[in-house]
Structure 1
Amino acid sequence: MLKQLFGVARINFLSLTLVCIALAAGASWQAGHPLSPGVLMLVTAIGLCAHISVNALNEYLDFKSGLDFLTNRTPFSGGSGTLVTHPGAAHLALLLGIVSMLLVIGGGLYLSYQLNWQPLLIGIPGVLLIYGYTRHINRWPLLCLLAPGIGFGIFMTLGSYWVLAGNISAAAWLLAMIITLLVSNLLLLNQFPDAEADRQVGRRHLPIVIGRRHSASVYTLLLLLSYLVLILGVLSGILPWQCLLALLSLALVAKLLPGLFRFADKPQQLQPYLGMNVLLCHLYPLLLLTGLLWAGPV
């Protein structure tokens, strides 16, 4: 049973949550706010529960809709396949999704009672996003593009900073914007191999609506925009110059983009570039975090 629960939770993808919260914690520390280990642990637990909930509900709903039986699964797209192999575990996936969501709600209410009610302005929409992502958001192309990024960038990264620092800074907004763009791109590229199967169950994301090649152009635009935000943030003095360390990730981008356009319409050959995209979504924020730690508290 534990193996099935780990499968529907997609435990190998939870590292992205840890990276986002670490970035928020690093930014809060660099801004001169002392970190409370207890609050940081609780924020991390809430973030992991939110990620697990959206993953488990997505697995359950994709299994019930029949989508999981149509996709050509890759290590980065098409779900985990756990429920296709173990259909009897469907009720466990649903239970995991619901319990994880309730833990998010309970943890958020506890934090608001102990610290400040204002982060609920981010937390409540975040819970609604968890609930509605698979069932509703996937039918609206622009919302489907931005929702994952908003979830990890605004709700998770910015929300974590707000709880840890007690306020929101311009630097926190810029970091959240960068994460929003990166994670929106992460899910956009992962939709490429699933486009035909997704179309059959009524989904309408960008690779379905405008095609993979045009979606690759959207990916490039969002990625370049993330670097523009970084550079403008440093030039304006909002981010320390040490954050330019994140530009080292451009070496990975230089390999990723040519392959993306070359194999945009050949999903089977796109898999190495899906992996590079996952790596980029971890490397870029970790380099930002390294820059913040290098800069030290103000």
Structure 2
Amino acid sequence: MIKQRKKTNWRVWWRLLRPHTLTAAFVPVSVGTALALHAGQVNVPLFLVMLLASLIIQAATNMFNEYYDYVKGLDTPESVGIGGTIVRDGVPPSTVLRIAISFYALAVVAGVYICAASSWWLALVGLGCMAAGYLYTGGPWPIAYTPLGELLSGVLMGTTIILISFFIQTGSVSLESVLVSVPITVLIGGILLSNNIRDLDGDRAKNRRTLPILMGRSNAINLLAVLFTFSYLWVTGLVLMGIVSPWALLSLASIPKARQAVRGFHGKTRPVEMMPAMQATAQTNTAFGLLLAAGLVLSYWF
């Protein structure tokens, strides 16, 4: 039985958001909007609402994760990488669930604004993304227990969010926006892959069937390195083919962080030892994505 503790300061609620994962929300919106700049003037209020919607959906997904992992007995006070709001800080599980549902309600309001300014067909896409966020750990067959987590998270938070961000500004989807979304999709999938590498032993004990469990830790680390390499080669290829400006090569400045992430996993077996590597993976996505967005903006002006 969880006992309510008296001390629930702002840091508790900040950890509940799992801020290191929010890069999967703000990077795609930034890249999609930067691409839209080339097709016409960007609607700043629409960009901000889209950014808010993406952030709160990602945060709510983290809260559903926190709630259902507790309910299913997967989280303990010793668990690494979780917010710990329930098992360590004593916040009632029902409170975490209510906040998550409230965030989803706020996302619906934001979605109405976005659809009214663009297309109501986006409501179906948005509801699909929200359903996937809930079903990641909720429902009878949680996605988190399968080897499909990396693929689905990458496509939904990478390609889908970039294309929505581009579409609401331009009213269309271009081949360039699809191609530029690919490395972001790959890197977001890599964030979840790094999380599952860290949690491999614990997940196996809990009968999960994540990709690293099926592949083995060493192969999963090699796959992470391949995903990083592919992303950098993809952007370089887009530049060489003249699809994007050479300014996009700014994203290559994040390579040292990617190397740090891969090296941080080698030779490590304890989750706490792999936390810096997982954080470096998320930071790689942040640096790569924001530098790519900056390059797209600079190519518009220069």
Hey, which of these two has a bigger chunk of helix by percent?
1
SS in structure 1 at match of 2:207: coil
Partner in structure 2 of residue 128 of structure 1: 131
2:28 paired residue among 3, 11, 20: 20
Q: Using the alignment, how far apart are the partners of 1:233 and 1:211 within structure 2?
A: 33
The one-letter amino acid paired with 1:98 is I
1:208-227 matches, within 5 Å, as 208-227=213-232
Shift of 1:297: 5.6
2:3 counterpart residue number? none
Give the TM-score normalised by structure 1: 0.88
Is residue 41 from structure 1 mapped to residue 19 from structure 2 by the alignment?
A: no
Report which stretch shifted further, 219-228 or 43-52: 219-228
For each residue in 1:234-269, what CA deviation from the matched residue of structure 2 results, as whole angstroms up to 9, or x when unmatched? 222221121012122223334433443x32545443
Q: TM-score, normalised by structure 2?
A: 0.87
Task: Name the aligned partner's letter for residue 86 of structure 2.
Answer: L
The Cα offsets for residues 166-198 of structure 1, whole Å up to 9 and x where unpaired, read as 211222112221111001111111222222222
Q: Percent identity?
A: 25
Q: Distance in 2 between matches of 1:291 and 1:228?
A: 16
Between the aligned partners of 1:265 and 1:201, the Cα distance in structure 2 is 17
Match of 2:72 in 1: 65
Name 1:112's counterpart in structure 2.
115
Distance 2:143 2:155 in 1: 13
1:40 partner letter? F
The residue that corresponds to 2:251 in the other structure is 246
The 1:42/1:66 distance shift into structure 2, 3 A limit, reads same
Distance 1:108 1:2 in 2: 30
Q: What RMSD, in angstroms, separates the aligned Cα atoms of the two structures?
A: 2.3
Instruction: Between 111-120 and 56-65, report the one with greater CA deviation.
Output: 111-120
Distance 1:252 1:9, change over 3 A: closer
How far 1:133 moved relative to its partner?
Answer: 0.9
Instruction: Check if 1:32 corresponds to 2:39.
Output: yes
CA, structure 1 residues 176+216, in 2 after alignment: closer, same or farther (shift >3 Å)?
Answer: same
Q: Which stretch has the larger CA shift, 81-90 or 179-188? A: 81-90
Q: Which residue of 2 aligns with 1:97?
A: 100
